[in-house]
Structure 1
Amino acid sequence: MATLRDALAEAPGTGSEPAVIVETSGSSGYPKSVVLPISALRASAEATAERIGSGSWVLALEPTYVAGLQVLVRSILAGATPTVIPASFTPDQFVDAAGTTDAPRYTSLVPAQLTRLLDAAVGDPDVADCLRGFAAILVGGQALPGAEADRAAALGVRIVRTYGSSETSGGCVYDGVPLAGVSVRVEEGEVQISGPVLASGYLDDDQRTAQAFVTDADGNRWYRTGDVGEFDGALRVTGRRDNVIVSGGVNVSLDRVERVVRTVPGLEAAVVVPVADAHWGEASVIVVEGNLAAATTDDALVEARRRVEREIGAPARPREILTLARMPLLPSGKPDRVRLRAQIPTL
C-alpha cells in the first residue's frame, strides 16, 4: 500500500507514470493482465469523489480485484486508511468494520455480498442501521437484480449501481451516467468507453490490446467492452456479445434469459449457463445455490419458462433448474461460469 501511496503522490498525470497490473476475473475463461497507469486510477477515484463524495471507506473486496484496488486509491486520496473485512465476509464483520465515524462512510460490494447483508438486516436491526449509515454503497461486478435493488431502497440504503471493468479502472458509469471525463458510445450494438480512466493495454499481448482498444479519426482512444447496450445519455447494458447460444436455429442471449429468470421469486440470484441439447442443439439451465424442495423447484421452473417465453420466445426457455450446495465464485465475487459449465455434465 505504501508503494501505491507513493505512486499516487508522485504521478504527474501524463500516462507515463508507474503502472499497476490487475488480473481480470476470467469469468469468460480468458483472464488477462491489464496494465493500469496511476493516472487512470487517479482519474477514476477523483471522478468518483466528485460524483458521490469522499470520506471513510470499508474494504470488503480483494485488493487484487480492481474494485478493491480502487477502494485503496480513493482512501489514499482522501487521506484515510480503509477498514478491512476478512475474506470470509459475514454481516457481523461488516458491522464491526463500519464502526462509528463522523466522516461519510462508503464501501464497494458485489451483489452476492449485498444480498447477504440484506438477508441479515431482516432480523438484525444493527445490520439494517449500519447499511443505512453509509453515504453510498457501490455495487458492481455483475448486474444487480431488480428485486435486490428494491429491497435496499425499501430499507433506506443508498445503492449506486456501477458499470465498468479492469480496463476502465473499475466502475466508470454510475447509475447509467458516465463519470466526469468518461465518454460512452455504442458502435454496431457494442458499448465502448473513452476517457482518462482507460488502461494502457494488456501485458505482453499486443494483439489483444489492438483488438480491445481502438482509436477514432479524431485521435480518441476507445475500449471495446464486448457488451451490448443502448446509450441516450443513460447507459443500458443488455448482455454480452459472446454469451449467446443458438437454440433451434435462433440466437438467444443468455444475459437476457438470466435477467428474466431473476424476476421469479426464489431465483433472484440464479445463474443461467449453456448446455448441449439433443433436440435444440443448445439450451440453457438455471443454477441456484441451496437446497430447494422438489415442488418449489418445479413451480419455479414452470414460472421461469413462462416468463422467458413471454419476454423472449419459446427457444429461449431454460431446460431445467439445478441446485448446488455452494455456487463457485471468482475472487471478484462473480459466479465462476467456466467452472459451472464444467460441472453441469456431472450433476
Structure 2
Amino acid sequence: MPVPAADPAHAKRLADALAADTPIDDAISLVISTSGTTGTPKGAQHTPRTLAASAAATHKYLGGQGNWLLALAPHHIAGLQVLLRALAAGFTPGVLDVSSGFNPDAFADALDALDGPRRYTSLVPTQLLKVLDSPRATAALRAADALLVGGAATPAPLLRRALDAGLSIVRTYGMSETGGGCVYDGIPLDGVTITLINPNPEGVGRVALSGPMVAHGYRNLPDHPAFTLTPGARTFITDDLGRVDDGVLSIIGRADEAITTGGLTVVPQVVEAVILDDDSVRECAVVGLPDDRLGEKVVAFVIPSDTSRFDAERIRVAVVERLDRYAAPRDIIEVDELPLRGPGKIDRRALRARFS
C-alpha cells in the first residue's frame, strides 16, 4: 500500500483507514487508495493480472512499449502506473522529483535524458499549463511519443493549446478502481466495456466500466455496491455521468457534485467548460454554496489569465446564452490558486468549507 512518505499524518490516516498490517487475500499485490472525493479513502485491490492488463492495453493503444518519465506522485494510481508500465516493458523509468513542486525546466531535462525506443510521460492539467508556458519544456515534450493527461478533466482551451503546440496528447479517463486510465480519448482500451446505467432522454447516464484491469473490490468492504464481481467479468460503477456518441465516451460531470439551485440541477463541469472558453480565465472551479432562498447558489472561482481583461459580467452572459439563467454563477470570485486533492483534481469540498 503506497503512502506519501513526506506526509506522515496522511500516511497514518491511510494506514488506519485501510487496516494496514492485518491479513489480506494472497492474490492481492496492491492496495491503492482512492482520491477521497467523499472524504473517506477506500483501497482498491489489484492483482498482478489487473496491473499487467492495464499496462498491455495502454501500450497497445499508444503503438508500442516504451520508457516512461514519472512526474506525478507515485502513491496515486496515475503515478504508480507510470512506473509499472516502464518496468513491464523492461525499462528503468525516469523519475522527476516533484516534492517541492513541478519545475518545467527540470521536467525538460528529465525528458531529454529518458532512454528507450519510445518515450512517454503523464501529467495533470495544472502541470501541462506550466509546460505550455515554458518554450523549453514544450519543445522537450513535443519530441515525446505521447503525453497522457488525466487526474482531472482537460479543459477544451488547454487541449487546443497543447494540440497547437504539436504535443501528442492523449486524454485519459479512469480511477484507482480501474487501475488508472482505461478510456483514452473517449475510446475504451482493449478489453474494456462501457455501460451507461439509467440514461436519461438525452442519453446521459451513470458510467460503469468492465474489463480485465478492474480491481477486485475494496479493501475490507467485500459487498460494496460499486462493484459487481463475477468470474471473468468485473464491473465498477462510477459516480460519473457520461454519454456515448458513435462509440466515444464524454464525461458530463459527477453525480455527487451536482448543484441543486432553486429546485433545478446544475452540473459544475458543464458551467466550467463555458467559463474556460473565455480567454481571460486560466483555471476555474464551480461549486454550490448555501443560500437561504435557493438552497444552493452557483459560485465560480477563477484564476485570471494574462491574455485579456477579466470581465465577470461577460462570463455570466456567456453562461446564460449557452446554458440557462439558472446555471449562471451568482458570484464569481478571483483566487490565486485552487485547492487540489489526489492527482490534480479540484477539491470542491475544500472550497465549500472555506467559503460557505
Who is 1:214 aligned against? 228
| 8 A contact 1:145–1:268 mirrored in 2 | no
Q: Where in structure 2 are there 5+ consecutive unaligned residues?
A: 2-24, 199-204
Moved more, 68-77 or 246-255: 246-255
- What's the secondary structure of 2:283's corresponding residue? coil
How far, CA to CA, are the matches of 1:319 and 1:67 in structure 2? Answer: 35
- Whether 1:136 aligns to 2:136 is no
TM-score (norm 1): 0.87
Letter of the structure 1 residue corresponding to residue 234 of structure 2: R
Out of 238, 245, 250, the residue aligned to residue 259 of structure 2 is 245
Equivalent of residue 218 in structure 2, options 193, 202, 208: 202
Q: Which residue matches 2:39?
A: 29
Give the SS at the match of 1:251. Answer: strand
CA distance in 1, matches of 2:345, 2:336: 16
How far apart are 1:215 and its partner, in Å? 5.5
In 2, Cα distance between the equivalents of 1:79 and 1:215? 32
TM-score, length basis structure 2: 0.85
Is 2:187 aligned against 1:153?
no
- 1:109 aligns with 123
**DSSP-derived class of the 2:273 partner:** helix
Mapped to 2, the partners of 1:51 and 1:58 lie a distance apart of 18
The structural deviation recorded for 1:303 is 2.2
Q: Indicate if the aligned counterparts of 1:227 and 1:237 stay in contact, CA closer than 8 A.
A: yes
Please state how far the C-alpha of 1:259 moved relative to its aligned partner.
1.7
> C-alpha root-mean-square deviation of aligned residues, in Å?
2.2
Q: What is the Cα deviation at residue 290 of structure 1?
A: 6.5
One of 88, 91, 95 as aligned partner of 1:77: 88
CA distance in 2, matches of 1:265, 1:283: 25
1:307 alignment partner, SS class:
helix
1:86 partnered with 2:97: yes
* Equivalent residue number for residue 97 of structure 1: 110
Which is richer in helix? 1
Supply the distance in 2 between the matched residues of 1:268 and 1:28 (Cα, whole angstroms). Answer: 27
CA distance in 1, matches of 2:196, 2:254: 13
Match of 1:275 in 2: 289
Give the counterpart letter for 2:270 in structure 1: R
Instruction: State the distance in 1 between where 2:197 and 2:338 align.
Output: 35
Using the TM superposition, give the Cα deviation of residue 289 of structure 1 relative to its aligned residue in structure 2, in angstroms: 3.7
Pairing 1:305-344 to 2, within 5 Å after superposition: 305-344=316-355
For each residue in 1:323-346, what CA deviation from the matched residue of structure 2 results, as whole angstroms up to 9, or x when unmatched? Answer: 33332222412222221111113x
Asked whether the equivalents of residues 212 and 234 of structure 2 are also in contact (C-alpha less than 8 Å), the reply is no
Corresponding residue for residue 8 of structure 2: none
- 2:240 aligns with 227
> CA shift at 1:184, angstroms?
0.8
| Residue 312 (structure 1) shift | 2.1
Counterparts of 1:30 and 1:212 in 2: how far apart (Å)? 15
| Cross-structure match for 1:6 | none
Q: CA deviation at 1:25?
A: 1.1
Structure 1 residues 24-53: Cα deviation after superposition (integer angstroms, max 9, x where no partner): 111343321111222111100011011102
Contact between 2:66 and 2:116, CA under 8 Å: does it hold in 1? Answer: no
SS of 1:239's partner is strand
User: Is it true that 1:58 corresponds to 2:69 in the alignment?
Assistant: yes
Change (3 A) 1:197 1:103: same
CA-CA distance at 1:181 after TM superposition: 0.7
Question: Deviation of residue 206 (structure 1)?
Answer: 2.8
Aligned mates of 1:76, 1:21 — CA distance in 2:
19
Alpha-carbon distance between aligned partners in 2 of 1:30 and 1:290, rounded to the nearest angstrom: 32
Match of 1:260 in 2: 274
Checking the alignment, whether the CA contact within 8 Å between 1:167 and 1:198 is kept in structure 2 is: yes
Q: CA deviation at 1:77?
A: 0.8
Cα deviation for residue 219 of structure 1 reads 7.2
Residue identity opposite 1:85 in structure 2: L
Aligned to 1:98, what secondary structure does the other structure show? helix
Gaps of 5+ in 1: 2-14
Residue 340 of structure 1 aligns to a residue in which SS? helix
In the aligned structure 2, how far is the partner of 1:79 from the partner of 1:102?
A: 10
Give the corresponding residue for 2:190.
Answer: 180
Percent identity between the two aligned chains: 41
